[in-house]
Structure 1
Amino acid sequence: MNDAMTGVSRRGSTSRPLWRTWAPWWLLGATSASITALVDAMTVGLSLWSAEAIDALMFAPLAALGLTTASLSLVSLLQAPLLGIASGVFHHRSRKEGDDSDGSRIVWTLVAALFAAIAASMAARQLMLRTDGFQVRAFAVAVVSLGAGLAALGGAGLGLGLRKLVRGLWPFRTNSRRALALLLAIVGGALIAVCRVLLVAYDVYLASLSAVVWLGLFFAIELLVGALLLGLPRRGYARLVARSKNRWLAVFALLVPTLGLVVGALLLDAHPPSAQRLAATNGISGFAQRALQAGTDFDGDGASAFFGQGDCAPFDARIGPRSFEIPGNGIDENCDGRDAEASAMAWRNDDPHYRAVPSTAVSNYNVIMVCFDTVRVDHLGFYGHENDTSPYLDSLATESWVFENAVAPSATTRMSLAAIFSGRYSSGVVWTDGARVEDVSEDNVFLAEILDDAGYQTFGVVDEWLPRFVPTMRQGFSKYESAYRVGTWRESGHRAGPFIAAKALTMMVGRDLAKPYFLYLHYEAPHHPYQHHPEVREFGQGVTDGYDSEIAYADHHLGLLMSIFEAEGWLENTVLVFFSDHGEEFREHGQSYHSRALYEESLRVPLLVHVPGQAPGRFDGRVSLIDILPTLLDLTGHADENLSLHGRSLLHRTLGDDPGAERQILSELVVGAGRPDELTALYYEDHKLIWNVSTGEMELFDLDADPAERNALDDLDLRSSMHERLRSMRDSIGGD
């Protein structure tokens, strides 16, 4: 009988040694890949079940099974020959030391690979944190995967030293196959437990990094499979390895990933909503799908013709699911199966951005814009909250315009701010990656650019996330800085009040007094995780109490900063705008935090505008935060009819000259990390329609009778009418 690990016959003849063949190692990896794929598919299925996405249960888990099997089988192909070489290192060393057991070499080869996995995970984490754009990150992980195999060779040296240590401490003989199987099982089980904790505890923060954790899970399963093989009876174990034929394994090794990719592509193309849901997951399958979509986007329009993205013109960048529809030209630019009618532009007719403004309302004002991240309107005192969360803003509200029904353009910061600073809905903003919202393109025109061209000095003090993940938002700012050192968000983000003040004061002291200024301040608080602050009172120990404490902290430090501005005379002739980029959910509709839904708790936000010399007032009509830009351009005398805007100046509403009572307002969410579906909401008169573009589901609410959105209406005619309005509006957003 051949010795399965060395390839040395008991009769003295030799056959292929293990370190010269990849077959047994690929078998180990392929088996582990299949098990990991089953776990990934079950995870996808459970997440869909919990989200009540029953329609996707027939497609997404099977597609996940195919894509994960294909991806990890390819990893196994890369891993096998390198593990074989590492095994050869141990084979040579073991013979010198008189320990020629096959089990010992398997164990320490896998231990060497463990060092490689740790090194790869650390490298992947650093690459992902320091790169922008999904395609770049996918390439980074591919490089790391190759490097992991090479690192196994370096790990072999560490494994040799560790083996000597264990031989002195391990109570069993090191050539006891079952004892070594127990050791592998213990290490593998511990690693699985660690990966599971990471995936659950850090789901909100890991996002794309969780793919690295899934690779760790794959390796842990490899350890357990190795333990199982070592635990087999010697005869069965030897036959299993010795009878593997490279010739057939080579064919099988190529068929498995190919078949997995084909099956995954067919299933996702057959049911695009499942493709969108799978792409939003953070497992191996979701990562693989996004990488494959990016790799098959031949025309660079942000969509592939395969894997469920449905690009109907894969070699024409002008046509694709993320392209803007031009109504009435006979071409289906956005691949939805129809060309929008010219009447789709009706929402823009009789809806001018600017009208003649009384000269008393126009001045070369300075402008300060202040954003508190994640503030829902019902947690501020001047909107009726019972807790004293906003004493400074409450006082300012008595001298300002307060808009009672302001709607955020999105429920996530990146999309909302891009819309606010461009005066256009999120789907009308040009993004660098149309399939997944990444950075904004330099083709956009932002408020800071307009004011910079008008002779303003433009300053921005923000949290670290904006410069890191949306760097192009700095367009037009002469100075645009994080309030604290980048990379210290956990330590500094929620106590950044003094840092924001210090940066802002430094910029103001050094400015040119002969020019007007534009200053943007972005406060991270009260974004979760919520914290209590000694500077302000505590409201209790509950979740919403911590949230209120964060709002009070931001209000306290804004008040201190503005008192310095007032003492220095910097608030004279200065317009101050306060708003929040989106709201926050406290399980009113079953979810927490934000960026996953378009209910009122996520979209209804504060909007306060203080204009020197103008009478204060409160206004009930519904407005959008994209109205801030045209309003400021009206007030400062820099209105430009040539700008293509979706927002409407609010100055006419405050002066009692609103050009139109009926208005359609849009809010949007695209698929992304933590967001399984593409969602769009339309406000029109008293009604609101939420359309899940990914699944086709719709919810219609009467906000006048049901402001908490507890009971969806069953009026099919009204829902159909609202849906047609929404489709037409989406069709025409980018075609202007």
Structure 2
Amino acid sequence: MPSRPPFLLLAGLAALATALADAGFVVRGAMAAHASPSSVALAFLVATAVVIGPLLLALAFAAAIARPLGAFGNDALQGLAKATGGHAPLSATALVAALAFAAIRTAMLGRTIVAALSPSMAATLLVLVAFTVAIGTLAGTLLLLRAVGPRLVALEERQPSVRLVSRGVGARIAFALVVTYLLDSLLPRPFVVAPAVGVTTGLLVSAFRASSSARVFTDRQALGTLVVLAVVSLAGAHALSLLPSRARNAVVHDGPYGAHAVAGLRSLVDRDGDGFSPFFGGGDCNDGAAHIHPGAYDDPGNGEDENCDGIDATAPVDPKLPRPASPKTSARPNIAIVLLDTVRPDHLGFAGNNRAVSTSIDRFRESATWFQKAYTPAPTTRFALASVFTGLDIDEIPQRRGAGFAFELLPEAETLAEKLEPLGYDRVGVTFPYVVKNIRGIGQGFRSFTSPPGTSDETRFDGRDAKLTSDAVIDALSKLEGTKEKPFFLFAHYACAHAPYVRHLEHDFGGDEDAQYDSSLAECDKHVGRVLDTLDARADRDRTVVVVMSDHGELLGEQGVHEHGTSLLEPAVRALLLVRVPGWKIPTIDAAVSITDLHPTLLELASATDESETIATQDDPHRWNLGSYVVAEDPPRDRALRLYADTWHSGIHYQARAVVKGRFKLLRDLTTGAEQVFNVDEDPDEVHDLKHHLPDVRKALASYLDTWKSIRHEPPKDGKDALQN
């Protein structure tokens, strides 16, 4: 009589398969990030160890609870089988499938309900819908089983070989497929693979062991193995800080369950609650002081290492060069900002894209100044817009943040629209629903800040956004005077290139991600062209400053990363910036600038800056009037531009910072503590990490990042710049 394997053995094999599947995502991420083969292997081992310990502990706990309930569960299953025709495997599989169907139908109806009703009404209706769908689906399933079950039992009696499929390996495969389908209906796709592999492995192994007489482990041996693997798991998590940068990032960012395991372990030992742990690669050097952690800024010269890099920071030394004033217009100009969300400049025709994606913007570029190396302060709309509208560094903006993407610009923030109001400007903003609903306060100062009816929100993307937005903008322009006494400030914000990308038949370049992005961009360009033509047809064209820009770029699989918000790689942080100002003649500026520079530039063009603000702007090494690049006899010096990512991904808080100065860029992932240095001029794909080859460059860049708050408003000092060598 073959012996059945202990539950812990099956659980261990299933857990190992789950961990290996999760580690596969880490391997893919490390390889995409150009990690060396040895780093990929290390990442795989650590990722497997990180997942298997917590998973086995959870399974052991479940086993301890399940054992006393085993007899009851077996009786319940037999009773269910009897009530539905006498076939337990068929009953279990069918009922799980019914649950999957009910969950999917509820989710589909729920999206429509949430979008149409208030939160309280939607919650009530969702409960009723979920209950109704579940009861109806289960009732139908029971009736079907009562009809099919007896026939299958009778067939098994006539044909015993059928039992191998209906009650053996075949039944287990069917059950695994149904479970996978259920998981896929409830979880994001990356979170489905690992448990599906684990469940399938456990079921198949149980089928094999049930028909085998081979010796199996005892419960005591299995428990000892579990304890050993749990210790290995903790050791693997603690060894994270020893991994090379790219391998470390892959483990923490790319493993769906491994990332949660690391985050959970860190939170358990974070005594001071600063979000950083002294163990498991958290990097906190003082867990008794909340102001000391890897994400802190270091106050130079105070003898304290606030950011845990091992030394007290030294303030950077920059050469001081003359900074010419920007020319002003004789009268207050109209100002129109056309912002295309998520547009990366290298996908436009004038920047080298051979597809016909930007005919209108290419034509506008011929009369505008292109800031070829424009950066966003952060690759997310809420931070980029807040920074452009206030002219402030992200940490200085009066704001309130919550979990996820919750953001509010507080009333004490003074926006560009508010500063233009006393100068007689009429201020109108057109954006999309997500901005109005989720980036609260961003429209303060505008007389009107709305989204056109029918534009996409979080539940629907149908490709009509560009047309609807342009219709609303053109209608607004028809009502704006644009006179010298009543100039206007128009903000037009398009979401038509944002994911999920819509493939338009008129601009069909193929089905891959890159082609669909370009298709969305081409549709956007067509309707933006209508607005640009309307601006050009106005009598006040020569008194109108027009800006065509993006708030950030987009990643289309570079280094295994997609979309934006979680990475500071070049495709995500490079922004489109075209500025047409009457009198500006230089067509291209190749110095690094920030889109935040628009704030002081537009204020000075509108003669809205008083003497004190002009002085403050000139003394601030991180804000610059873009006009200085156009009219200066000598080009301005290279500035240090700080980049910032703060986002929630699958319930985990990720933070990263970077600094760009000259041709060099330092990336620092605060979640992992990993640093990388790139020469973005010679290596735009950021493949070759120069951190260990150029230690002086790394140190110079780090001085800007570490002391950012301390030097934010200090005038630059005379001295030698290590990054210019």
- Specify which of 46, 52, 61 is matched with residue 59 of structure 1: 46
**Residues 268 and 689 (structure 1 numbering): CA distance in 2 closer, same or farther, change over 3 Å?**
closer
Q: 1:501 aligns with which of 454, 464, 470?
A: 470
Match for residue 369 of structure 1 among 331, 337, 340: 337
Letter in 1 for 2:54: L
Q: What is the CA–CA distance in structure 1 between the aligned matches of 2:11 and 2:137, rounded to whole Å? A: 18
Out of 692, 696, 711, the residue aligned to residue 721 of structure 1 is: 696
Structure 1 Cα separation of the partners of residues 413 and 668 of structure 2: 29
Say if 2:427 and 2:445, in contact at 8 Å, map to a contact too. yes
Q: Percent identity?
A: 26
SS in 2 for 1:646: coil
Matched, 1:317 2:317: no
Query: How far off its partner does 1:554 sit?
Result: 1.9
- Asked if 1:577 is matched to 2:547, the reply is yes
Root-mean-square deviation (Å): 5.6
Cα 1:29/1:374, change in 2 over 3 Å: same
| Aligned amino acid, residue 18 of structure 2 | T
- Report the equivalent of 2:211: 232
Structure 2: runs of 5 or more not aligned:
115-126, 713-725
* Paired residues for 1:75-86 under 5 Å: none
Is contact 1:68-1:285 (8 Å) kept?
A: no
Measured against aligned partners, the alpha-carbon deviations of 1:363-395 in whole angstroms (never above 9, x if no partner) come to 544432222344443444545666554343344
Deviation of 1:722 after TM superposition, in Å, equals 1.9
CA spacing shift, 1:504–1:307, aligned 2, 3 Å: farther
503, 528, 532: which one pairs with 1:558? Answer: 528
| 1:541 CA drift (Å) | 8.8
Within the candidate set 709, 717, 723, 1:734 is matched to: 709
Read off the aligned partner of 1:340 and give its amino acid letter: A
Q: Secondary structure of 2:589's partner?
A: strand
| Equivalent pair of 1:276/1:677 in contact (CA under 8 Å) | no
SS at match of 1:663: coil
Q: Matches of 1:162 and 1:82 in 2, distance apart?
A: 29
1:37 counterpart residue number: 19
**1:15 paired residue number:** none
Give the deviation of 1:678 after TM superposition.
7.6
Residue of structure 1 equivalent to 2:719: none
Return the offset for 1:70: 3.9
Once the two structures are superposed, residues 316-361 of structure 1 have per-residue CA deviations (whole angstroms, 9 ceiling, x without a partner) of 43332222222222232222222212x23x45x8589x97555x43
* Partner AA of 1:497 in structure 2: A
* C-alpha contact (below 8 Å) 2:567/2:656 kept by paired residues: yes
Other-structure match for 1:277 = 250
Contact 2:93–2:174, Cα closer than 8 Å, also in 1: no
Offset of residue 159 of structure 1? 6.7
The 3 A distance-change label for structure 1 pair 425 and 218 is: farther
Query: After the TM superposition, which residues 667-678 of structure 1 pair with which residues of structure 2 at under 5 Å, given as runs?
Result: 667=643
Contact 1:681 1:691 (C-alpha < 8 Å) held by counterparts: yes
Do 2:550 and 2:575's aligned partners in 1 also have CA atoms closer than 8 Å?
yes
The 1:351–1:331 alpha-carbon spacing in structure 2 relative to 1, beyond 3 Å, is farther
Find out whether 1:523 has 2:494 as its counterpart. yes
After superposition, give the CA deviation of every residue in 1:483-524 in whole Å (9 maximum; x if it has no partner).
Answer: 7455566642x4421121234356667889997654333333
Structure 1 residues 559 and 181, CA, compared in 2 at 3 Å: closer, same or farther? Answer: same
SS at match of 1:167: helix
**What residue ranges of structure 1 are gaps of 5+ in the alignment?**
5-22, 132-143, 200-205
The AA in structure 2 aligned to 1:647 is R
Once the two structures are superposed, residues 416-464 of structure 1 have per-residue CA deviations (whole angstroms, 9 ceiling, x without a partner) of 5555445456677799779x98444646947457547757665544455
Which residue does the alignment assign to 1:210? Answer: 190
Q: Where do 1:304-343 residues align within 5 Å? A: 304-314=277-287, 316-341=289-314, 343=315
User: What amino acid maps onto 1:504 in structure 2?
Assistant: V
* 1:127 to 1:309, Cα distance in 2 relative to 1, 3 A: farther
Cα 1:158–1:713, aligned 2, differ >3 Å: closer, same or farther?
closer
Question: What pairs up with 1:147-166 in 2 under 5 angstroms?
Answer: 160-161=142-143, 163-166=145-148
Report deviation, 1:730.
0.5
Output the TM-score relative to the length of structure 2: 0.71
Structure 2 vs 1, CA of residues 228 and 384 (structure 1 numbering), >3 Å: closer, same or farther?
closer
CA, structure 1 residues 383+265, in 2 after alignment: closer, same or farther (shift >3 Å)?
closer
Describe the shift of the 1:450–1:312 C-alpha distance in structure 2 as closer, same or farther (beyond 3 A): farther
Q: Does the 8 Å CA contact 2:169/2:204 hold for their aligned counterparts?
A: no
Following superposition, the deviation at residue 97 of structure 1 comes to: 8.5
Partner of 2:77: 90
| Partner SS state of residue 402, structure 1 | strand
Aligned to 1:141: none
- How far apart in 2 are the matches of 1:564 and 1:79? 70
User: Does structure 2 conserve the Cα–Cα contact (< 8 Å) formed by 1:437 and 1:670?
Assistant: no
Distance 1:715 1:669, change over 3 A: closer
Cα pair distance change 1:519/1:215, threshold 3 Å: farther
Secondary structure (helix, strand or coil) at the match of 1:520 reads: strand
| 1:185 alignment counterpart | 172
Q: CA deviation at 1:33?
A: 3.7
Aligned partners of 1:295, 1:465: CA distance in 2, in Å?
Answer: 35
Q: Distance in 2 between matches of 1:453 and 1:318?
A: 40
Residues 598 and 668 in structure 1, CA contact (< 8 A), matched pair in contact too = yes
1:660 is aligned, of 636, 639, 644, to 636
Partner of 1:266: 238
- TM-score where L is the length of structure 1: 0.70
2:30 aligned residue: 48
SS in 2 for 1:339: coil
**CA offset digits 1:663-684 (Å, max 9, x no partner):** 3334455787599998766544
- Matches of 2:207 and 2:85 in 1, distance apart? 23
Judging changes above 3 Å, is the alpha-carbon distance between structure 1 residues 379 and 260 closer, same or farther for their aligned structure 2 residues?
closer
Distance 1:325 1:126, change over 3 A: farther
Aligned letter for 2:156? F
Question: Per the alignment, do residues 442 and 218 of structure 1 end up closer, same or farther by CA in structure 2, a change over 3 Å counting?
Answer: farther
Paired positions, count: 670
Distance 1:39 1:391, change over 3 A: closer
Residue of structure 2 in register with 1:397 after alignment: 365
Are 2:97 and 2:182, in contact at CA under 8 Å, matched by a contact in 1? no
Cα gap change, 1:161 to 1:264, in 2 (>3 Å): farther
> 2:520 and 2:433 mapped to 1: Cα distance?
18
Q: Give 3-state SS (helix, strand or coil) of 1:172's partner.
A: helix
**Does the CA contact (< 8 Å) of 1:374 and 1:581 recur in 2?**
yes
Distance 1:181 1:407 in 2: 60
Q: Name the CA distance, whole Å, in 2 between partners of 1:628 and 1:712.
A: 33
2:107 and 2:70 map into 1 onto residues whose CA distance is: 20
Matches of 1:66 and 1:551, distance apart in 2: 46
Q: Relative to structure 2, which stretch is displaced further, 397-406 or 83-92? A: 83-92
> 1:521 is paired with a residue of what secondary structure?
strand
Aligned to 1:407: 375
1:701 corresponds in structure 2 to: 679
Inter-CA distance 732–292: structure 2 relative to 1 (3 Å threshold):
same
Q: Contact between 1:440 and 1:473, CA under 8 Å: does it hold in 2? A: no
Counterpart amino acid of residue 291 in structure 2: R
Residues 96, 721 of structure 1: alpha-carbon distance in 2 compared, 3 angstrom cutoff: closer
Say which structure, 1 or 2, has more relative contact order (CA 8 Å, 6+ apart): 2
CA distance in 2, matches of 1:663, 1:326: 21
Q: Judging changes above 3 Å, is the alpha-carbon distance between structure 1 residues 89 and 194 closer, same or farther for their aligned structure 2 residues?
A: closer
AA matched with 1:266: H
Kindly tell me: are residues 115 and 590 of structure 1, through their superposed partners in 2, closer, same or farther at Cα, counting changes over 3 Å?
A: closer
1: CA distance, partners of 2:516 / 2:81 = 60
Matching residue's letter, 2:493 = H
Task: Quote the Cα distance in structure 1 between the aligned partners of 2:555 and 2:17.
Answer: 37
- For residues 627-683 of structure 1, what are the alpha-carbon distances to aligned partners after superposition, in whole Å with 9 as ceiling and x for unaligned? 222222322334446688833111222232678323333445578759999876654
Q: 1:579: how far off? A: 1.6
Residue matched to 1:481: 451
The answer (yes or no) to whether the contact 2:248–2:674 under 8 Å persists in 1 is no
